[in-house]
Amino acid sequence: DADVTQTPRNRITKTGKRIMLECSQTKGHDRMYWYRQDPGLGLRLIYYSFDVKDINKGEISDGYSVSRQAQAKFSLSLESAIPNQTALYFCATSATGAGTDTQYFGPGTRLTVL
Amino acid sequence: AQSVAQPEDQVNVAEGNPLTVKCTYSVSGNPYLFWYVQYPNRGLQFLLKYITGDNLVKGSYGFEAEFNKSQTSFHLKKPSALVSDSALYFCAVRDKTGANNLFFGTGTRLTVIP
């Protein structure tokens, strides 16, 4: 869905490197999320943001940080990447109020840490 | 704490046959339940949701889900499977503690055999 875009789509990096994954949305939603997907584990929430000034840790935030640069942009950083952060990362958005339950996902970023 | 379980990692069904993808939930109070689908190299797409009301919920692409409170289940169904339905399916439950985030199951890979 082009409404939520993620860059890069694929990234291979080395242990210890700093990595930033970017997410942009044109849906006008206030809420944005970062998840990681691992085989057999489903999706797990890393961070979420209800607006530019409201950022919250999710289930597995250790080793990650985020920045909400604008309503439309939400970046995920790995300060010092390690191999067990190899995963598929998804950004998602949702509206506020009655629409908060339906989330719209980007295409994902496949990250490999060697 | 809210959670969902998808007991089957893989479901195979012949094209034209009915399909069922199982999901059970653990929630205090009334649950808000969802199904999402992930096609290869794509992000998750919303299929349907149960908030309240009729126990049979209809969604996109001919899918429906049946909410069963006594069995704490929310199984996804389709009367006649298509090869194009082959994908990864995720059940999710909404957090009711304030953040309204979604907790996803581990996913079930559906393969429709021609």
For A7, the token pair is 């860059």
Chain B residues touching residue A103 (CB < 8 angstroms): 44, 46, 102
- A40 interaction partners in chain B (CB closer than 8 Å): 9, 106
Closest CB to B94 among A41, A48, A101: A101
Nearest to B85 by CA among B33, B38, B27, B24: B38
Q: pLDDT per residue over B63-92, tens digit each?
A: 999 999 999 999 999 999 999 999 999 999
Q: Does B52 touch chain A (CB under 8 A)?
A: no
| pLDDT tens readout for residues A36-62 | 999 888 899 999 999 999 999 998 999
CA of B26: how far to CAs of B6, B12, B41, B71, B92, in Å? 12, 26, 30, 10, 11
Beta bridge partners of A28: none
pLDDT beneath 50, residues of chain A: 1
Please report residues of B whose CB lies closer than 8 A to that of A44: 104
Per-residue pLDDT reduced to its tens digit, B33-69: 999 999 988 889 999 999 888 899 999 999 999 999 9
Which residues of A lie closer than 8 Å to B, measured between beta carbons?
Answer: 1, 4, 33, 40-45, 48, 56, 58, 90, 92, 100-108
**Closest Cβ–Cβ partner in A40, A56, A104 for B99:** A56
- Of the partner residues B43, B46, B101, the one whose CB lies closest to the CB of residue A108: B43
Beta bridge partners of residue B103, listed in sequence order: B93
pLDDT number for residue B114: 95
